[in-house]
Chain A
Amino acid sequence: MTAPATHHDVPASLRLTWLDKTAIVTLVVALGLAFLTPPEATQGNVARLFYLHLPTILVAYAAFATTLIGVVAYLATKDLKWDQLAGAAAEVGVVFTGFTIIVGMIWAKPTWGVYWTWSARLTLTAVMFFAYLGYLALRRAVDDPVVRAKRSSLLGILLIGLIPIVHFSVIWWRDIHQGGTILRPDEMQIDGILATALLAGFVAWSFTGAALIRRSWKLARLEGELDQRLRAGDGRVAGDAVDTPALDGSKDASS
């Protein structure tokens, strides 16, 4: 007779942590506020995309900053888990930059009349997206974990310079994109209840980003462990799964 299923039967990878649960609850609150606040005075309802567009790029910046933290911690300690954090955070940063670009395009069509224009802010955001995709590609191109960590650390340090260029591009160059709303040299440019919805969006997407980085980092550490064990000859790799055919009529060439 089989025992009834308990939560112990659920694999660790599928269990929800407190971070996952906090992300879900804050996302529901943020979604409610984004949809229930009054429409913005000049753009109307379409400005509700702002509560998604701005938080996702701020979380992307934070994820890329986490990559830099991982790189610095790796270079200081030579512990590969920090390099794995750098890679995991970069992956989530790329995903969130992609969200910002897609939501920005969906917002641009009804407000600017086009999905895309080659303004400084948009172009530089696209450059940042593809540069970090390059970082992820570099990580996949190197098999040896130590060589991978060294090479990607160099790129991880260089790429962080893109963030201030992307962020201040709307101040440095003339741009169709609006200027800063929150992180700007003078005062904030958003009104009470709308600021609350924006803050809720920022909290929710921060927890979501952190939860995704935690999962991605966990996966990277497990992949590192598996790679290490396969390298140490613990278990046969896929290519060794078929025994070498014997030419002299015996059953197994290795015996």
Chain B
Amino acid sequence: MNGWGWVLWGYGVVFFAVGIYLWALMARTRSVERRLDELG
């Protein structure tokens, strides 16, 4: 693998992980918001 290949791996993994983490935060927040809404 040449230099660009390693670079794309590094950036790809991190941006993918940021996306997953952000999605998890939003999903957890939405879930708690729903529970609170149910309680009124």
Q: A residues touching B (Cβ–Cβ < 8 Å)? A: 11-14, 31, 34-35, 39, 43-49, 52-53, 56, 95, 98-99, 102-103, 106-107, 109-110, 208, 212, 215-216, 218-219, 222-223, 225-226, 229, 234-235
Contacts and interface: CB of A to CB of B under 8 A. Distances in A.
A44 B3 contact: yes
A45 B18 CA distance: 23
Interface of B: 1-4, 6-7, 9-11, 13-14, 17-18, 21-22, 25-26, 28-30, 32-33, 35-36, 38-39
Contacts of B9: 106
Nearest to B11: A52
Contacts of B10: 49, 52-53, 102-103, 106-107
A104 to B, nearest CB: 9
Contacts, number: 86
A109 B32 contact: no
A48 B6 CA distance: 9
The 5 closest A-B pairs by CB, nearest first: A45-B3, A13-B29, A46-B3, A106-B10, A235-B39
11 contacts: A11-B30, A13-B29, A44-B3, A45-B2, A52-B14, A107-B6, A212-B22, A215-B25, A216-B25, A225-B36, A226-B36
A219 B25 contact: yes
A11 B36 contact: no
B33 A13 contact: yes
A146 B9 CA distance: 43
A226 B11 CA distance: 37
Contacts of B33: 11-13, 222
A39 B36 CA distance: 52
A226 B35 contact: yes
